[in-house]
Structure 1
Amino acid sequence: MQGLIALGGGRGKERAIMPDLEEFVGDWTLTREIRDAYAGQNARFDGRACFSPGDGGLMYVERGVLCLPGQAPMTAERQYLWRQGPGGVEVFFNDGRFFHAIGPGDRPEAMHDCAPDRYHVRYDFAQWPRWTSVWQVSGPRKDYVMRSDFAPAG
Structure 2
Amino acid sequence: MKSELWPVSDVLAFLAGSWHVERTVRDLADDVTGRFTGTTEFTAADGGGLLHVESGVFEWRGVARPAERTLRYLPDGTPGTAVVRFSDGRFFHGLDLRGGHHIADHPCSADLYRGEFEVYDADSWRTVWRVKGPAKDLVLTTDYRRV
Q: TM-score, normalised by structure 1?
A: 0.84
RMSD after superposition: 1.7
1:109 & 1:98 partners in 2: Cα distance? 15
Q: Can you give the 5+ residue segments of structure 2 that lack an aligned partner in the other structure?
A: none
Task: Find the residue that maps to 2:42 and give its secondary structure.
Answer: strand
Task: Find the residue that maps to 2:53 and give its secondary structure.
Answer: strand
Match of 1:140 among 117, 134, 137: 134
Q: What is the match of residue 101 of structure 1?
A: 94
Q: Which of structures 1 and 2 has the larger relative contact order (alpha carbons within 8 angstroms, sep 6+)? A: 2
Report the structure, 1 or 2, having the larger strand content: 2
Percent of aligned positions that are identical:
33
Mapped pair 1:36 → 2:27: yes
Structure 1 runs (4+) deviating above 3 angstroms are 17-20
Q: Is the 8 A contact 1:34 1:42 kept in 2?
A: yes
Q: TM-score, normalised by structure 2?
A: 0.88
Q: Which has the larger radius of gyration?
A: 1
2:131 & 2:69 partners in 1: Cα distance? 18
1:70 & 1:142 partners in 2: Cα distance? 20
Once the two structures are TM-superposed, the CA of residue 19 in structure 1 deviates from its matched residue by 4.3
Q: What is the match of residue 58 of structure 1?
A: 50
Between 1:58-67 and 1:122-131, the stretch displaced more is 122-131
Task: Find the residue that maps to 2:120 and give its secondary structure.
Answer: coil
Q: Can you give the 5+ residue segments of structure 1 that lack an aligned partner in the other structure?
A: 5-13
